[in-house]
Amino acid sequence: MKKINKAEEINVTRTLLPGLNEYIKQLKRIWKNNWITNHGPLTLELENKLKTYLSCPYLYFVSNGTVAIEIAARSLDLSGEIITTPFSYVATTSSIVWVGCKPRFVDIDCNTLNIDAGLIEKAINRNTSAILATHVYGNPCDVEKISKIAKKHGLKVIYDAAHSFGVKYKGKELVNFGDISTLSFHATKLFHTAEGGAVITQIKKTADRIAYSRNFGHKGQEDFWGLGINGKNSELHAAIGLCMLVSVKKHIKIRKVISELYNKHLKGTCLKTQQISKNTEYNYAYYPVIFRSEKQLLAVRKALNSEKIYPRRYFYPALNNLNYVEYRKCPVAEDIAGRILCLPLFPGLPVRSVTRICRIIKDNV
């Protein structure tokens, strides 16, 4: 794996690519099959391997993680209001609006950074159809409490699990909670297909609706189940996924080592880190740190940028501030969004670079 040197830029992440020869082997299969899209053999193989890896009965490979959320909402026939978090990537909220629903924001827990399950019931009204929660940075939400609330009020539950590939909670793959979980396979993710995503469910009826929804609504060549979208992905993307899947566990181990190195060097500083939920087998997808103030964050970022190191304000701003949603005050999320920064984390990041990043941080806090 290529190492970076001191003179090179260090971004918050770096796309991992499969060995070129391995990818070419998959490309030769595609050329031999003369099949590029429409549920080809590589796509089906990837879906089957992912179902085995994630221990889930139904998984559909789609074009990206945003479309995955939109298909999830359509497949559950959601309408009205969807309770969601203001602390996530913009696609979590924009997908709700895109399918004609209204996001109703509930504030987050200041330690886990996930939606505060204790505040959800107060936000439920006669127009509420679902809860869409994000496992922030791959940290499991309070799935038991959310499930209990949803059953009590007859609501559907979707988990945006974009960051959660390979995460287990109480020995169970995190993507197997809720009515539907969605994944992103964007190039920056722990496991990727360059562009892509997946929709996962445990329920056969829901799985059928997902399958129809991602393929224009086709129930057969000349028969339609209902409204659908072109959410399919290509054999070229599936080929990357087949190559990348074999190295996921190795990359998680490397990420863990880097995260523990950050922990060691930043111990004793004023910085706070996310509290990972108990009983979690984590994937170390990100390394977020929370500063005392936004002013302090900006000073540190400026110092890092001056040495060609580029962390990311992820997520900023809080989504309840978007200009196409109804603002609802979420003081914890708004505060955290102003003070959180994700540090560089990816296989190939040298120990000396982590040490240098931490030195710059400590010199400026």
Assess whether 267 and 237 both reside in one domain.
no
What count of other Cβ atoms lies within 10 Å of the Cβ of residue 174?
29
Residue 234 shares a structural domain with residue 95: yes
Model confidence pLDDT, tens digit, residues 325-339: 999 999 999 999 999
Q: What is the pLDDT of residue 1?
A: 46
pLDDT tens-digit readout, 250-272: 999 999 999 999 999 999 999 99
Distance CA 206, CA 339 (A): 39
The span from the CA of 4 to the CA of 357, in Å, is: 14
Is 325 inside a domain boundary?
A: yes
Q: Does residue 5 fall inside a structural domain?
A: no
Q: Is residue 9 part of a domain?
A: no
**Domain membership flag for residue 2:** no
219 and 342 inside one domain: no
Final residue of a structural domain among 245, 272, 301: 245
Domain boundary among 194, 215, 245: 245
Point out the domain boundary residue: 245, 265, 281: 245
Given a cut of 90, whether residue 199 has pLDDT beyond it is yes
For residue 94, report the phi and psi dihedrals to the nearest 5 degrees.
Answer: -60, -30
Neighbours of 98 (CB within 10 A): 14
Over range 273-297, report the average pLDDT: 98
Q: Are residues 124 and 28 in the same domain?
A: yes
pTM: 0.95
| Residues 146 and 133: beta-carbon distance below 8 Å | yes
- Residue 5: pLDDT over 60: no
Query: What is the residue range of 176's domain?
Result: 20-245
pLDDT digits 0-9 by tens, 299-353: 999 999 999 999 999 999 999 999 999 999 999 999 999 999 999 999 999 999 9
